[in-house]
Amino acid sequence: MPYTSDVVAAEALTNSYQKLKTEISKVVIGQDETVRLLLTAIFCQGHCLLVGVPGLAKTLLIQTIAGALDLDFNRIQFTPDLMPSDILGSETLDQERNFKFIKGPIFANIILADEINRTPPKTQAALLEAMQEYSVTIAGQKYSLGRPFFVLATQNPIEQEGTYPLPEAQLDRFMFNIYLDYPSYQSEVDIVKSTTSDKKYDVQRVISGEEIREFQHLVRRVPVVDNVVEYAVKLVHKTRPNTEMGASDANQYLEWGAGPRASQALILAAKCNALLTGKYSPDIEDVRAVAMPILRHRVVRNFKAEAEGISVEQLIKRLL
């Protein structure tokens, strides 16, 4: 739906965001920050990695968001025996003995990649090609994926047996790495009340795929002043050990710093964060608001940091 001006579109985005939050909160209780980050990623054409212990409603959260957006949704449960063709699709012989391509579950708008670290690297790589290129290649033939297209992957941090950790280069493809924490006491009381009764909550569809595409273009058109861009790039440079602008904490505790994708993600997410809070241009506070989930999976601690028990979050907070 074309808007008369970017200001009208920005107001429409803010209103749609409020409606989405209302619909999602009918089912998912007390995960406001996670919902904000997931919706930010969607409006920025990014992908998300959700990390949390079992039972924190990771799958329910993503299914609810998919229900509030008028988009096709597929869930893929990753297992050690999953093959790339189980995700992408494969060629089969039809009755006339001609090869015909049968599309796999990746051909949807929202993909829930459940427990992505349970599947071998070959299958992970097949999904990550789709995330980066928005297309898949089968038997030398390229097939484009529908837009908008988001991958929301989940990961369980406790079990390490029988898992295949994502390599740094593949983690970098995810815009946000979101940690889900245990709910507060009051939130858990509300969760138990709502999930142990017979009441069903209907989530209304709020935004269409066409509107999401419009909002994605709007986010990219948001103007940014130079000092905000410089702040974001400086912050990323601070994470790089033994470089000209590397911070002393990075030199001491980090093996690797964040790459240029982090700088791009900081500015895009800051633009979207500004729009969601009713502003027309981001400031340094917007960059700070999205820095943790963007940098968390892009920096690698060294042995000294692990030995001293210094977490990635503590280091990022120091750099901020």
CATH code: domain of residue 305: 1.10.8.80
> Is the domain of 231 the same as that of 298?
yes
What CATH number is given to the structural domain containing 32? 3.40.50.300
> Is the domain of 296 the same as that of 183?
no
* Strand positions, DSSP E, 82-233: 89-93, 99-103, 110-114, 135-138, 141-144, 150-155, 176-179, 207-208
- Which comes out higher in pLDDT, residue 75 or 195? 75
Dist. CA 235–CA 184, nearest whole Å: 32
In a domain, 110, yes or no: yes
Picking from 133-142, 229-238, 289-298, which range would have the lowest pLDDT averaged per residue? 133-142
> Is the domain of 64 the same as that of 182?
yes
Number of folded domains that form the chain: 2
The answer to whether 229 and 57 have CB atoms below 8 angstroms apart is: no
Q: 67 pLDDT band (50/70/90 cuts)?
A: confident
Task: Give the type of residue at 298.
Answer: R
**H or E stretch including 24?**
helix 6-25
Q: Residue range 246-259: average pLDDT?
A: 87
In which domain, by residue range, is 288 found?
A: 222-319
User: What pLDDT is attached to residue 287?
Assistant: 94
Q: 94 pLDDT band (50/70/90 cuts)?
A: confident
In a domain, 156, yes or no: yes
Q: Residue range 230-250: average pLDDT?
A: 90
Q: Residue range 3-24: average pLDDT?
A: 87
User: For all residues of the chain together, what is the average pLDDT?
Assistant: 87
> Is the domain of 186 the same as that of 77?
yes
> Is the domain of 104 the same as that of 138?
yes
User: What pLDDT is attached to residue 68?
Assistant: 87
In a domain, 157, yes or no: yes
> Is the domain of 161 the same as that of 95?
yes
> Is the domain of 177 the same as that of 88?
yes
Domain termination residue (choose one: 211, 237, 252) = 211
User: What pLDDT is attached to residue 244?
Assistant: 87
> Is the domain of 48 the same as that of 143?
yes
pLDDT of residue 122 exceeding 90, the answer is no
> Is the domain of 117 the same as that of 193?
yes
In a domain, 232, yes or no: yes
Percent of the chain with pLDDT over 90: 26
> Please, how many CA atoms are within 13 Å of residue 110, restricted to the half-sphere of its CB?
25
> Is the domain of 72 the same as that of 167?
yes
Domain termination residue (choose one: 143, 176, 211) = 211
pLDDT of residue 111 exceeding 70, the answer is yes
Q: 160 pLDDT band (50/70/90 cuts)?
A: low
User: What pLDDT is attached to residue 162?
Assistant: 67
User: What pLDDT is attached to residue 1?
Assistant: 55
> Is the domain of 100 the same as that of 67?
yes
Domain termination residue (choose one: 186, 211, 236) = 211
Nearest to 43 by CA among 314, 201, 273: 273
> Is the domain of 15 the same as that of 114?
yes
